[in-house]
Structure 1
């Protein structure tokens, strides 16, 4: 079930969490929370494992903005903010050895949420874990891309909404084709 939960909560992080709106914010979240989980596990549990903690941390972060909503956990409907605790409870029944790893995930996710959202919004303090600028450079498309069959140069000032293809005018034809005339149907009169 770990790959399913990892995919499910990572895709929800990318699409539903407002504080992680950009790709670099999600990547920075994974670096910081993963690093915190590894540090907590290394110091307190003498372990370097972190997947179980990371899954619970991603779940905790996703459900923080869904307070008051109902969610399904296997066959049960529970309040959305209780899903991480349901995961820990199910581990208590199936594999109690991973519970400390999952608790470290909740601690790391709560610490990240406190330092990036709660303290700046309600405490009036600074964001202690802002996404650094180098993360934006890591995820952006390179301006010049060397290929086996040529070189592609991306113009960052060019519109990316498809307006050069005629998509914004309501026609399916590109601009260069619209100037050619009305055209004739083949095989017709």
Structure 2
């Protein structure tokens, strides 16, 4: 148990916190302890008084039922932790990325009138697309075939056609694909070919301020727990956990749910 908790606390903080919230909230919904109507998104709830702004976050945390709860959480952790350890190792940059992606998904969902009320699968496609941009030229296993890594998000979308009700998932995933491609264009493609090296979406200073404030508060509040001492009286420290690879298949992805 101590070893498991040590690995947990040494996991990337944003990925760890997000997936923990995802598991707790989704378990509460799927086991009947919390009504799903309190966490899904609809713009109507934002115009109520007081506005139910938590839905802007919880709509991205609700997983599928049964085994979907575990698999959605697992894959979300894989993608998010790879981003946090890799391209967006600065927490404010990762938070800005997630804010833009989630906001774009909401905007596309509203403009197109698709009516989705939960967006985790769109966010997972976005994160997958961003992760594999840094793996171009590499290969990955998808089901029983080997494909170029950058084709993984497209394969994940196409595979839905093989499952009952899977077609309903595709428009939601396309929202996530569009959001990730727009981010890639504005932050990578445009600076490289037309923007003289300047991104169109620099991280706002507000995010740095928030991260620094939270880090300072957490540092002051964290208790000092002495570890086992060796012969010289030193405190033993754990090693960092490594990141996992991209998933080899999308078999466990259940069909999406369109509400409203």
Question: Normalization by structure 1: what TM-score?
Answer: 0.71
1:35 aligns with 2:103: yes
Equivalences, count: 150
Q: Report the Cα distance in structure 1 between the residues aligned to 2:133 and 2:119, rounded to whole angstroms.
A: 21
Unaligned runs of 5+ in 2: 1-70, 224-231, 235-260
Unaligned runs of 5+ in 1: 150-171, 175-189
Equivalent residues of 1:9, 1:62 under 8 A apart: yes
Match of 1:3 in 2: 73
CA RMSD of aligned residues (A): 2.3
Q: Report how far residue 7 of structure 1 moved.
A: 1.0
Q: Report how far residue 86 of structure 1 moved.
A: 1.1
Q: Report how far residue 77 of structure 1 moved.
A: 1.8
1:1-189 matches, within 5 Å, as 1-17=71-87, 20-44=88-112, 45-94=114-163, 95-124=166-195, 126-140=198-212, 141-142=215-216
Equivalent residues of 1:33, 1:112 under 8 A apart: yes
* CA separation of 1:143 and 1:74: change in aligned 2, threshold 3 A: same
Higher strand share: 1
If asked which structure has higher relative contact order (CA below 8 Å, sep 6+), I would say 2
For residues 57-89 of structure 1, give each alpha carbon's deviation from its aligned partner in whole angstroms, at most 9, with x where no partner exists. Answer: 000000011111011224432110010011101
Answer with 1 or 2: which has the greater Rg: 1
Q: Report the Cα distance in structure 2 between the residues aligned to 1:148 and 1:99, rounded to whole angstroms.
A: 44
For residues 24-43 of structure 1, give each alpha carbon's deviation from its aligned partner in whole angstroms, at most 9, with x where no partner exists. Answer: 11111011001101110121
Q: Report the Cα distance in structure 1 between the residues aligned to 2:206 and 2:216, rounded to whole angstroms.
A: 14
Q: Report the Cα distance in structure 1 between the residues aligned to 2:127 and 2:102, rounded to whole angstroms.
A: 10
Q: Report the Cα distance in structure 2 between the residues aligned to 1:147 and 1:65, rounded to whole angstroms.
A: 37
Q: Aligned with 1:46: secondary structure? A: coil
Q: Aligned with 2:203: secondary structure? A: coil
Q: Aligned with 2:216: secondary structure? A: coil
Q: Report how far residue 112 of structure 1 moved.
A: 0.6
Equivalent residues of 1:42, 1:48 under 8 A apart: no
